[in-house]
Amino acid sequence: MASAQQLIGMIKSHAAGDDERFLLIAEHIAQEADNSGKVKMAGEIKALIESIRIDAARARIAKPIPITAPRGELAGLVRASYPEIYLSDLVLSSQLERRITRIVREHRERSTLEAKNLAPRRKFLFSGPPGTGKGMTARAIAGELGLPLFTILLDGVITKFMGETASKLRLIFDAMATTRGIYFFDEVDALAASRGSENDVGEARRMLNSFLQFLEEDQSGSVIIAATNHRSLLDPALFRRFDAALFYEKPSAEEARRVLNNHLLAFDVDKLDWNELDLASHGLSQADLVAAAADAARDAVLDNDAKITTELLKQALKDRNTIHPN
C-alpha cells in the first residue's frame, strides 16, 4: 500500500501539474509492491505508467511545445528556447558524463530526495576552453528535464549606468522563482571578474556584489548554469556559491572519433584511416570537429560523388586548425 507521505506527494504533484513527479512516486509504489510479493499489483501499476508515458510522448510529437516567452523588460535580458538535445547527443569524458547524468537524475527524482529532506543541486559552474561542450550540456540538461532554456543576454544586462545592471539581474533572479527552467549565464566572467582586476571600477564591483548576493540568496526551483572560458578571471568569492564545478577539456582521440562519426552518419566512414585522422584532429575542440565534419560532407557531396575519404576529412580538419593562432 502507498504510504501517507506518498499519497500527499501525488496529490501535490497533481495539483501542480507535475506529471513526471506523479509518475515517479507511482513507480516507487510499484517497486515496493513488487518487493513485498504483490507481483500482480506491481505489474499493473508499471504497465499503466508505461502506457501513460507512451501517450505523453506521442502528444509531445503531435503538438508543438509552447515557448515560454519573456515579456516586458525581461524580453531584452533572456532568450527562451526548448532544446531538442539530450545526453545521448553529447560526447564527453566518462567522468563528465557520470556527473551530468547524476545532475539530471537528481532533478527527475527530486520527490525521492524531498522525502528525506534533501534537494537536488541547482547551481553549477562549467569552465574550459571554447567549443568544448559547455553550452551544449546546458541545452541537453534542459532537453532531458523538459524545461525551457533561458540564455542570459549579457549585452542587455550589463550597462554603464550606476545600479542599472543590478536591477536587471534582480529581474532575472525573480523570474527564476516564477518560471522554472535552466538559466544559462554564458561567459559569466563578464559579470564576475575578480575584484583585483585592472578594470576594477566602482560599477564593476557593484555588479559583482549584486550577482554574488542574488546567486547566494536564490531559493527557486530553477537550475542555474554559469559558463566561462577563463576560470582564472573569476572572483574567488564566486566559487562557493555553486553546488558543483565541472571542467571541460578538448576531446581525446577516441572522443574526437565519436564526434566525427556522429556528424557523418549519412556517409560510409568504415574505410577511413582513423590513425591519420587522430593526428589531424589533435588539439581541436568539439565545435571545430563538428565544423570540419560539415565541411568535409559538403566537399564530398559537391566534388566526390557523396563519398567521404580520409583526404577530404583530413583537409577539413587541417583547415579548421588554421583558424586558431599558434
Q: How many helices (H) and strands (E) does the chain have?
A: 15, 6
* CA-based nearest residue to 120, from 241, 32, 244, 30: 244
For 20, other C-beta atoms within 10 Å of its C-beta total 17
The DSSP annotation for 11-42 comes to HHHHHTT-HHHHHHHHHHHHHHHHHTT-HHHH
Cell 496529490 maps to which residue? Answer: 11
| Length of the chain measured in residues | 326
CA separation for the pair 292, 282 (Å, rounded):
13
Pairing of strands 123-127, 78-81: unpaired
Q: What residue ranges define each of the domains in the chain, with the CATH number in brackets?
A: 4-62 (no CATH), 72-247 (3.40.50.300), 253-321 (1.10.8.60)
Convert 124-157 into a string of H (helix), E (strand) and C (coil): EEEECCCCCCHHHHHHHHHHHHCCCEEEECHHHH
The one-letter amino acid code at 167 reads S
Cell numbers for 168, please give them. Answer: 536587471
> Measured over all CA atoms, what is the biggest interatomic distance in the chain, rounded to whole angstroms?
69
> What is the block-wise mean pLDDT of the chain (326 residues), using blocks of 10 residues?
65 66 77 78 80 65 50 83 90 95 95 93 96 95 94 86 83 92 93 64 77 94 95 91 96 95 91 94 94 95 93 95 78
Strand duo 123-127 + 244-247: pairing? parallel
pLDDT in the model for residue 62: 42
- pTM of the model as a whole: 0.74
What is the distance between the alpha carbons of residues 89 and 101, in angstroms, rounded to a whole number?
13
- Give pLDDT, residue 100: 97
Q: How confident is the model at residue 29, as a pLDDT?
A: 82
What are the two backbone dihedrals, phi and then psi, of residue 314, each rounded to the nearest 5 degrees?
A: -65, -40
> For the residues of 245-274, what is the DSSP string, one character each?
EEE-----HHHHHHHHHHT-TTS--TTS-H
Using the structure block, give the residue that is written with the C-alpha cell 533561458.
Answer: 150
